[in-house]
Amino acid sequence: MSATAEQLSQYMENYGWVFQQTTSSSWQTGWQSDKRAYPLNVELNDTWIRFEVKPLVRFDVDWDAHPEIMRFILNLNNECHLVRASLSEEGELSVILEVFNRKFGYDEFSEAIGVLGYYAELLYEQVIDCIMELGIHLGYQNRFLA
């Protein structure tokens, strides 16, 4: 049996999160670490539940002048087996976790959030270290749904 929108809202509530349901099948929420906020979008359909930290980092760079960032992001995707990094045309780096929406209960929700949180915080640190080494300007605006 697949999770419903009502169940997913209940899982977020049980997890203790403040969230906003933006459509019948999508939510905005997030969490705060010691260093920053992580905005999270959740989308539900019959097959998948998609968790996306967006943006993890917002770049303000000339991509032609800094191909090493693209290589770094490609290497991140190669090293990460449960999540993937995605870069938008606007320079927003996101971390995405997609899980099957089959027999998806609160335990699976908690595990998915744990995996996503682990990778988001790890990748954020790695990306920040990389761009600091390269001397690149970071155009990240920290936003969080309170």
Instruction: Single out the residue of 72, 54, 55 nearest to residue 63, CA to CA.
Output: 72
In whole angstroms, what is the distance from residue 52 CA to residue 81 CA? Answer: 15
* Per-residue three-class SS string for the chain: CCCCHHHHHHHHHHHCCCCEEEECCEEEEEEECCCCEEEEEEEECCCEEEEEEEEEEEECCCCCCCHHHHHHHHHHHHHCCCCEEEECCCCEEEEEEEEECCCCCHHHHHHHHHHHHHHHHHHHHHHHHHHHHHCCCECCCCCCCC
Dihedral sign for Cα 37, 41, 126, 115, please: positive
All structural domains of the chain, each given as residue ranges with its CATH number in brackets, are 5-134 (3.30.1460.70)
What is the per-residue pLDDT across 70-112, written as a single tens digit (0 to 9) for each? 888 889 888 888 999 998 888 889 999 999 999 999 999 999 9
In whole angstroms, what is the distance from residue 133 CA to residue 146 CA? Answer: 33
- For the chain, how far is it from start to end, CA to CA, in angstroms? 32
Q: What is the pLDDT of residue 70?
A: 83
For residue 7, CA distances in Å to 11, 44, 53, 103 come to: 6, 11, 21, 12
Mean pLDDT of 116-131: 91
What is the per-residue pLDDT across 4-61, written as a single tens digit (0 to 9) for each? 999 999 999 999 999 999 999 999 999 998 889 999 999 999 999 999 999 998 877 7
Q: What is the pLDDT of residue 137?
A: 64
Band of pLDDT at residue 66, cut at 50, 70 and 90: confident
Whole-structure pTM value: 0.88
